[in-house]
Amino acid sequence: MNHNTPLSPLLLHPPAEVRRRVLTTAQLRTHGVSAAEANEHCRAGGPWQQILPGVYLLHPGPPTSEERLHAVLTYAARGTFPQTAPGVPAQPTARKPHRPAYPDVMITGLAALTLHGFSGAPVLPALEKIDVLVPRLRRLRSTGCARIIRTAAPPVPEAVTGLPVAPVPRALADAVAHLTDAGTVRRLLTEAVRGGHCEPAAVVRELTSAKLLTRPHVVDAVDALVAEGRAIAEDRLYRMVREYGLPDPVWNVDLRLPGGPHLGGLDAYWPDQAVAVELDTRAPRQDEDALWSEYARKRELLERLGITVVHITPRKLRDALEQQATVVRTALMAAADRDPAAYVVVLPR
Question: 3-state DSSP call for residue 106?
Answer: strand
User: Distance from first CA to last CA of the chain, Å, rounded?
Assistant: 81
For residues 194-216, average pLDDT = 91
pLDDT (0 to 100) of residue 133: 97
pLDDT (0 to 100) of residue 79: 59
Listing DSSP states for 135-154 in one string gives: ETT-----BTTEEEEEESSP
pLDDT (0 to 100) of residue 21: 83
Minimal CA–CA distance to 234: which of 339, 179, 312? 312
In CATH terms, the fold of domain 247-348 is Endonuclease; Chain A (3.40.960)
CA distance 256 to 156: 46
The predicted-structure confidence for 301-339, as pLDDT tens digits, reads as follows 999 999 999 999 888 998 899 999 999 999 999 998 988
Minimal CA–CA distance to 49: which of 26, 12, 23? 23
In the chain, domain spans: 247-348
For residues 110-139, average pLDDT = 95
pLDDT (0 to 100) of residue 106: 97
Partnered with residue 61 across adjacent β-strands are none
CA distance 93 to 87: 17
Share the mean pLDDT of the chain.
Answer: 85
Tell me the helix, strand and coil percentages in the chain, rounded to 5: 40, 15, 40
Minimal CA–CA distance to 133: which of 162, 113, 159, 112? 112
Partnered with residue 253 across adjacent β-strands are 266, 348
Give, as one character, the DSSP assignment of residue 160. E
CA distance 21 to 223: 45
The predicted-structure confidence for 243-283, as pLDDT tens digits, reads as follows 999 999 999 999 999 987 889 899 999 999 999 999 987 65
Distances (CA, A) of 82 to 25, 30, 108: 12, 11, 24
Helix axes 216-243, 321-334, angle to 10 degrees: 60
